[in-house]
Chains A and B, each alone.
Chain A
Amino acid sequence: MPVAQTRCDHPELNWRAPRRPTPSYREGRRRAYENPSLARYVVSRTLTKPHADLWLRSDVEPVSSAKVKEGDVFVRLGEAARAGNESAFLEILKEARWQGRPVLDFIRAIQFAFEAGAHIAARQISAEGARLHPDNAELQKQAYILSPPKIIVRTATAGTSHRANRDWLKAHTDEYRNQWVALRDGELLGTASSMEALVEQVGETKGILLTVV
C-alpha cells in the first residue's frame, strides 16, 4: 500500500494526521465518511499503522464507506486494548466482520484481545481465523493452543496420595511456615527457603510434591 501523505489539500480536511488519533482528527474522520464526497480521501491502514490507522491523502482511489468503517473497527479495537478496557473491546468486536480478512488481521485482533483481557474473545477470534484460513499454520497453531481444555487420558492409579501430604502440611504449618518442603506420601524429604534451593537439595523430583507451607 503506498505511503499516504500526511497533509491533504482539501479545504475541509486540511490538517496533519497525528501519530495518535486526536479528538479533532476523529471528528474529521467522522465527517469524512458521513459525507460521501469526502470519503475518497480516507484510507484505512489498519494492517501497518496501529496508531494512525486513517490517513488523509488527495490522490487515493475512492473507498467505500463500509471499508472505511471496517478499518475504523480495528482502530477502536486497538484503542480499547491499549486502555485495557475489556467491555469496550467486546462491544466493538460485535461490529467486526471477519470474512475476507487477511491472516494478519486475525493475529492482531488476538493480540488486542489479550491486551484487553478478553480471553474468551481471543479464543473465538483464533477459532474463526483458523476456520477461514485452514492453510495458515500460525493461525491453526494459535487456535489449537487457545482451544478449550481437553481430557486426554484417565488412568487408575495406586500411587502417591495427596491426602497424606495434605495432612502433613496441616500438621506442620506453624513449624515450617513460609518454607519450601518436599514431600512424598506424607514423608518430609527436604526443606529450603526457596524452590531452587529445595530442588538442589532433593535432586530427583519425580513423584515428589514441592510446595511452600
Chain B
Amino acid sequence: MLLYLTDKTQFSVGATAYRLPREGADASRITIGLEIEENITEAIIDTGAPYVVCSPSFSKLFTPDPAKLMYAKKLLIRGVWVEGRIYRINISLLPDEGDALMIEAPAFIPNPEQEFTEGFLPRSFIGMFGCLEMIRFALDPLTETFYYG
C-alpha cells in the first residue's frame, strides 16, 4: 500500500524494500535496490552525501555519456581521496509496489584506474543534495519499506 496525505493526494508513487547490512562499513545503513544507467545494484541512502556516488567496482560496468561529463575532481570518501568525474546520469528507483521513477541526476563516477583496498566502498550512495532533494521519501522500519514519490 502506498502513502497518501490527509487530503488523499499521493505522497508516494512507489515503494521498495530496503535492508540493513549487518557487517562492514555499511552496517545498519539503509540500502535499497535501484538501477544506475540500466544496471541494477544496491545503494545506500546517505542524506549527507553530495550527488549519487557510484562505487568504484560498479562504475566499471557502464560508460557514461562523455557529452554529460564535467571535469575531474576529488571527493573525500571514508577518509580516502577518490579521483573521479561528475556526470549527469539516469537512476531509477525500482518498486515492489507502484511505479518506477527515473531521475536524471549528477553523479560522481570514480576513476576506474585508481586502486583501492579490498572492500573499499562496495556499494554506491545516493545523497540528498543532487538526488533525493526533489522527491518525497519516507521509511517504514516495521516493514523495512522505502517510499518515494
Contacts and interface: CB of A to CB of B under 8 A. Distances in A.
**A complexed with B:** yes
B40 A152 contact: no
A170 to B, nearest CB: 6
Contacts of B130: 119, 148-149
A154 B105 contact: no
Interface residues of A, number: 47
A169 interface: yes
A191 to B, nearest CB: 14
Interface in B96-146: 96, 99-106, 119, 122-123, 129-135, 144
Chain B, interface size category, equals 35 or more
A208 B42 CA distance: 11
A174 B30 CA distance: 19
Given A163-B16, A194-B57, A209-B42, A145 B88 contact: yes
A196 B38 CA distance: 17
A162 B33 contact: yes
Interface in B62-112: 68-71, 73, 76, 86-88, 90, 94-96, 99-106
B58 interface: yes
B70 A146 contact: yes
A113 to B, nearest CB: 10
B2 interface: no
Interface string A113-138: 01101011000000000000000000
A93 interface: no
A94 interface: no
Nearest to A159: B94
Contact of A114 (B40, B73, B122): B73
Contacts of A141: 68, 70
B29 interface: no
B18 interface: yes
A205 interface: yes
Nearest to A209: B40
Contacts of A209: 33, 40-42
Nearest to B132: A149
Given A119-B51, A151-B101, 14 more contacts: A145-B106, A146-B106, A149-B131, A149-B132, A152-B90, A152-B103, A153-B101, A153-B102, A156-B99, A161-B96, A162-B94, A166-B18, A209-B40, A211-B42
Interface of A: 111, 114-115, 117, 119-120, 141-142, 144-157, 159-163, 165-167, 169-170, 173, 177-178, 194-196, 199, 205-212
Across the A-B interface, the 3 shortest Cβ-Cβ residue pairs: A162-B33, A149-B105, A195-B57
5 contacts: A145-B88, A150-B134, A155-B100, A206-B38, A207-B40
